[in-house]
Chain A
Amino acid sequence: MDMAIHFEAVDFTYQADSPFATAALHDVNFTIPEHQFTAVIGHTGSGKSTMVQLLEGLLVPTKGVITVGDRQITPKTKKKELNQLRKHIGMVFQFPEAQLFEQTVLKDVMFGPKNFGQSDTEAQALAQQALRTVGMGPEFDQHSPFELSGGQMRRVAIAGVLAMQPEMLILDEPTAGLDPVGQAELMQLFARLQAEGNLTLVLITHQMDFVGQYADHVLVFDQGTVIKEGSPESIFADSDWLRNHQLDLPIAKQFADALAAKGMDLDHVLDLDQLTAQLARALKGGPHE
């Protein structure tokens, strides 16, 4: 299934036609290219999470058209059809460990595949494979998910989504609340999954370092709409514009900008590896390109 996504003039209002109506998105237009790593940035309340729920078919737009591959979601789309969509899209919510409920880790991860019609044996094989992918060894299979540490629970919850073998993976701040090492490990895992499985991956995050390091494509949300879309280079090129929208730069880019202010120009610096490589070259005394 083709998994490119287009939003065309999408509006969404929570509880439309009621005293509680709140507009969350207005005139949203963007494209999420397939088989790429797309990062979605924007400060809290800018509409990122609402957009993701529309993507996943948990909400239906109030206006406009969303195209997911060859399917269209319009305000008239029936809820039943949306369930089919979810088979192809895996969604990891914020603090996904809140979705754990089964008696054992293995059973919990089997929940998704079984719901989508896999037999017990198939589901078990998929679950075990997913658990190993996220680094949970077989010794944990029969544990209760509630005996695990926070980081391990997070991994099990993510395995629960991966076990459905989605072609597209949506991650809503998957590293929130983890220690820095845990965060970096998880991000490496996602990048590896994306590259190896040729997945379409959408990451919502506040951490610009990860965006600079991994993203192919970036969407910037502000006040319920997409205000900029492009490669990380183009998004991070204008640091003043980003600060005006209360967004940060990756640390490597900040450092490079500070160097540029002192007259040392480096180009294409989005993560620490690129920065150190270029600095090393420059400091050896050779002319940098």
Chain B
Amino acid sequence: MNELIIGRYLPGNSWVHRLDPRTKFVLSLIFIFAIFLATNVWGYLLATIFTLLAVALTGLGFRVFLRGLRPLLLLMLITTVLQLFFVQTGTVLWHWWIFTITTDGLLSTGIMFMRFVLIIMFSTILTLTTPPLAIADAMESLMAPLAKIGVPVGELALMVSIALRFVPTLMDEATTIMNAQRARGMNFNEGNLIQRAKSYIPLLIPLFINAIKRAIELGDAMEARGYRGGDNRTKYRQLQAGPRDYIAYLAFALFVLLLLGTHWLPGMVF
């Protein structure tokens, strides 16, 4: 359970750590869209170099990011392998029964995989270098204009920050319950798919019950201390963008422009 990197924050004082969380949030979103601008080998090369550069700036080491990819590997493989068999254009390389592998299929599979890797790595940069509460703050600040049209921005941000806050707590709880059931002879990784799915019932039921209990207690505790959402709440920590953030935005603008430029480079177009 503890091996999951997704959603974990690793404290540090790197250039990326010190960026305004809003900057990191917006830029991560932009990256996810920008990656679709890459249409040939040069585009992906550029995006990969850019990602590796950003990773280097976090000062956390490349291995941490690779570990972050590991739990999602299966999901990525299933999605990309489907792609492999569904794209039927191009030269046929291999054919058996209803399965056909073509050059186009192979190519789009590779691209899809690369996209996954880059997007996950970039979002991992955001979550590894930004405390969860700062992410929630950033979302609240970014959504602030929506409050004018009646979106309960404060409540939404609170929900997000509570959810993020309880991820580690629930993980710990899941580990404890899993241990308790293993001590009672439960094997979580044996048998066929149905047996395995069933074996999670003794974990999930207590986990849900505890989560609901916790939610009720938290609600009571907040009300007892007079919490009311919305209503012009002020923040102890003010978000402030500085020169560093402008540099980051500039670097991104340059990246997107270069990415657009790769369209005119010779090379296979996907």
| Interface residues in chain A, defined as those with a beta carbon under 8 Å from any beta carbon in chain B | 14-15, 18-20, 53, 56, 58, 83, 86-87, 89-91, 93-94, 96, 98-101, 111-112, 115-116, 146, 160-161, 164
Contact = CB atoms under 8 A, between A and B. Distances in A.
Contact of A56 (B61, B183, B209): B183
Contact of B182 (A15, A58, A116): A58
A17 B209 CA distance: 35
B202 interface: yes
Contact of A112 (B60, B185, B210): B185
Nearest to A157: B180
Contact of A19 (B64, B173, B176): B64
Contacts of A18: 3, 67
Given A15-B3, A19-B61, A100 B179 contact: no
Most chain A beta-carbon contacts within 10 A, residue among B60, B183, B187, B206: B183
B67 A115 contact: no
Contacts of A14: 2
Given A19-B61, A146-B209, A99 B185 contact: no
Nearest to A146: B209
Contacts of A101: 201-202, 205-206
B95 interface: no
B186 interface: yes
Given A56-B179, A98-B177, A111-B186, 19 more contacts: A15-B2, A15-B3, A18-B3, A18-B67, A19-B60, A58-B182, A83-B185, A93-B179, A98-B176, A99-B180, A100-B206, A101-B205, A111-B184, A111-B202, A115-B184, A161-B183, A161-B184, A164-B184, A164-B185
26 contacts: A14-B2, A15-B3, A18-B3, A19-B60, A19-B61, A83-B187, A87-B185, A89-B183, A91-B180, A94-B176, A98-B177, A98-B180, A98-B206, A99-B180, A99-B184, A99-B202, A100-B206, A101-B205, A111-B186, A112-B184, A112-B185, A115-B186, A115-B187, A116-B185, A146-B209, A164-B185
B10 interface: yes
B125 to A, nearest CB: 15
A56 B178 CA distance: 13
Nearest to B8: A20
B23 interface: no
Interface string B33-45: 0000000000000
A99 B64 contact: no
Given A18-B67, A19-B61, A101-B205, A93 B184 contact: no
B180 A96 contact: yes
A98 B3 CA distance: 23
B19 to A, nearest CB: 20
A101 B3 CA distance: 26
A89 B185 CA distance: 10
B183 A58 contact: yes
B178 to A, nearest CB: 9
Contacts of A87: 185
Interface residues of B, number: 25
A95 to B, nearest CB: 8
Interface in B152-200: 173, 176-177, 179-187
A228 to B, nearest CB: 28
Nearest to A160: B184
Given A58-B182, A115-B184, A99 B177 contact: yes
B253 to A, nearest CB: 32
Contacts of A99: 177, 180-181, 184, 202, 206
Nearest to A53: B179
A98 B2 contact: no
A116 B176 CA distance: 20
Counting chain A CB atoms within 10 Å of each CB, the highest count among B64, B177, B182, B201 belongs to: B182
A101 B208 CA distance: 10
Contacts of A58: 179, 182-183
Nearest to B180: A99
A204 B110 CA distance: 54
Contacts of A56: 179, 183
A93 B183 contact: yes
Contact of B183 (A20, A91, A100, A146): A91
Contacts of A115: 184-187
A143 to B, nearest CB: 16
Contacts of B202: 99, 101, 111
Q: Taking each of B60, B177, B184, B202, which has the highest tally of chain A beta carbons within 10 Å of its own beta carbon?
A: B184
Nearest to B201: A101
Given A15-B2, A83-B187, A111-B184, A98 B179 contact: no
